[in-house]
Amino acid sequence: MHKKPFLPTKICSHCKRPFSWRKKWQNNWENVRYCSRRCRQSRPADATDAITKGTL
């Protein structure tokens, strides 16, 4: 029997895979968008980032 069958889930903004709530996200669950560090670092750069770097 699984101990925690009814944890909330979200879909990762980068890889589109579902991921479940984790205790380390308990205070920030509303703002969590990525399932892992790899997905967070692979996100597309914002236009504001490109402007500040001078690539546009």
Q: What is the mean pLDDT of the chain?
A: 84
Q: What is the mean pLDDT of residues 20-27?
A: 94
Q: What is the mean pLDDT of residues 37-49?
A: 76
**Does residue 2 or residue 22 have the better pLDDT?**
22
Please tell me the chain's helix, strand, coil percentages from 3-state DSSP, rounded to the nearest 5.
30, 10, 55
The C-alpha atoms of residue 17 and residue 44 are separated, in whole angstroms, by 17
pTM of the predicted model as reported, rounded to 2 decimal places: 0.66
